[in-house]
């Protein structure tokens, strides 16, 4: 196996590109794909400050590294979700990466600052863990970005993630989600701009990127992720991809280029009527935002234990 | 050779020498859904592994909720 660019021994094959790459040319490809996505969708301008949503997994750490490599002023934000050992370990990877790059990592611990963790909050609010978790993340990333004066929040959603979500949204014709499934969401009153610079890269490439850059990351799955339907969508798409390399790329980018626009009529009106939360000031359609209601319900709830050593020691 | 698998973490023994692709086929693991790591290096599919090699087969598909704001 030889590198397409230099004919030296290759370290990875990418069937979608019908090519193999050596370390140097693969890393260059990753940087180029991020730069291309950023430019194509006007995600970031030179000199803008970005807040990277860091989980300690491969995608978010690779994203942070790539943005720093491309010269962006990128800080990280890590949320302590309190999901047992999984969270403790994830935090150490985020901190180790920040220290190795001399980058700034902001940390917010749910239990310390808001009195709950994801397993406990989910049970108290009778929500699925991922729903309580997603709500907390959205709220706290938005808040940190606005408070810190960042121009955008960047998340590590890659091509496989976006294709799987699109597949689910099309399968069930969730048109309101289809309208908002974009690599960039512009800032609007109270919400920061959201960008997904990894949309041109697959998840295998992100794992390979981390190994080649010496980035240690959380390999284990979140224990709350079990039975997730997106995993089945990914498996289905991977079977299609195996027979027809490039199918995921065509599916997602074809949607953006040719179909996405048609779903967007609905969102303008839905966005019209936002109030500001009575308690925290965040934009919300009701008087008290969903995050503040979650915090309220979780207050004083019996902690739910998870992980080998348990969430609370 | 010793093969470390993840999620959950466990070790299996595979006879060698064999190429990475042959090892993955024997374990019935799809090539596109993993990367293979030896020490701290990435080993491509056509690499010949020795009988006493130790490798890690790392899944790359994250299953976490995708309405989540931060993918793994
Ligand atoms: S899998 Fe669910 S609970 Fe776990 S980190 Fe992701 S969104 Fe949160
Ligand atoms: Zn090369
Ligand atoms: Zn609020």
Domain that holds residue B44: 2-59
- Across residues A178-186, what is the average pLDDT? 93
- Across residues B7-30, what is the average pLDDT? 93
> Ligand 1 pocket: which of A222, A228, A306, A311 to mutate (most atoms <8 Å of CB)?
A222
Per-residue pLDDT tens over the stretch A114-131:
999 999 999 999 998 988
The tally of domains found in chain B comes to 1
Q: Is the pTM of this model over 0.90?
A: yes
**Per-domain residue ranges of chain A:** 44-216+230-265
A227: pLDDT confidence band, cut at 50, 70 and 90? low
- The alpha helices in chain A, defined as continuous H runs, are 23-40, 58-69, 84-101, 110-114, 118-124, 129-147, 159-171, 175-180, 203-212, 229-243, 247-254, 265-272, 290-298
Q: Does B72 touch chain A (CB under 8 A)?
A: yes
With a cut of 60, say whether residue B67 has pLDDT above it.
Answer: no
Question: To which CATH superfamily is domain A44-216+230-265 assigned?
Answer: HUPs (3.40.50.620)
Helix A159-171 crosses helix A229-243 at what angle (to 10 degrees)? 110
With a cut of 90, say whether residue A77 has pLDDT above it.
Answer: yes
Per-residue pLDDT tens over the stretch A21-58:
999 999 999 999 999 999 999 999 988 999 999 999 99
Q: What CA–CA distance (Å, rounded) separates A260 from A264?
A: 7
Per-residue pLDDT tens over the stretch A154-178:
999 999 999 999 999 999 998 888 9
A138: pLDDT confidence band, cut at 50, 70 and 90? very high
> Ligand 1 pocket: which of A87, A90, A130, A140 to mutate (most atoms <8 Å of CB)?
A130
CATH number at B15 reads: 3.10.20.30
Q: Evaluate whether residue B71 is within a structural domain.
A: no
């Amino acid at each position: 196996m030889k590198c397409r660019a230099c004919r030296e021994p290759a370290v990875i094959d990418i069937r979608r590109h019908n090519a193999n790459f050596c370390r140097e040319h693969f890393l260059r490809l990753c940087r180029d794909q991020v730069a291309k996505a950023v430019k194509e969708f006007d995600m970031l301008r030179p000199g803008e400050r970005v807040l990277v949503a860091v989980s300690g997994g491969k995608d978010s750490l690779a994203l942070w590294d790539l943005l720093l490599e491309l010269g962006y002023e990128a800080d990280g934000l890590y949320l302590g979700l309190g999901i047992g050992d999984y969270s403790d370990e994830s935090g150490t990877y985020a901190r180790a990466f920040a220290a190795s790059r001399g980058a700034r990592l902001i940390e917010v611990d749910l239990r310390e600052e808001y009195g709950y963790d994801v397993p406990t909050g989910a049970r108290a609010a009778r929500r699925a863990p991922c729903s309580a978790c997603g709500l907390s993340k959205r709220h706290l990333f938005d808040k940190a970005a606005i408070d810190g004066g960042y121009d955008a929040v960047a998340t590590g959603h890659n091509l496989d993630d976006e294709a799987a979500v699109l597949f689910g949204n099309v399968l069930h014709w969730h048109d309101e989600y289809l309208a908002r499934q974009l690599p960039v969401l512009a800032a609007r009153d109270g919400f920061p701009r959201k960008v997904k610079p990894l949309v041109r890269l697959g998840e295998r490439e992100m794992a390979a990127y981390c190994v080649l850059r010496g980035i240690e990351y959380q390999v284990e799955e979140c224990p709350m992720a079990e039975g997730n339907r997106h995993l089945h969508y990914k498996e289905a798409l991977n079977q299609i991809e195996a027979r027809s390399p490039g199918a995921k790329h065509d599916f997602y980018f074809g949607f953006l280029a040719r179909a996405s626009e048609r779903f967007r009529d609905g969102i303008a009106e839905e966005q019209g009527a936002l109030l500001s939360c009575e308690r925290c000031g965040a934009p919300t359609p009701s008087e008290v935002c969903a995050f503040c209601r979650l915090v309220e319900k979780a207050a004083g709830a019996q902690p739910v234990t998870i992980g080998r050593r348990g969430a609370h020691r | 050779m010793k093969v470390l698998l993840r999620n959950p973490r466990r070790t299996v023994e595979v006879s060698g020498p064999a190429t990475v692709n042959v090892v993955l086929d024997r374990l019935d693991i799809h090539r596109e859904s993993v990367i293979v790591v030896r020490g701290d290096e990435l080993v491509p599919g056509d690499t010949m592994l020795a009988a006493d090699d130790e490798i890690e087969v790392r899944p790359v598909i994250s299953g976490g909720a995708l309405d989540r704001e931060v993918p793994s």
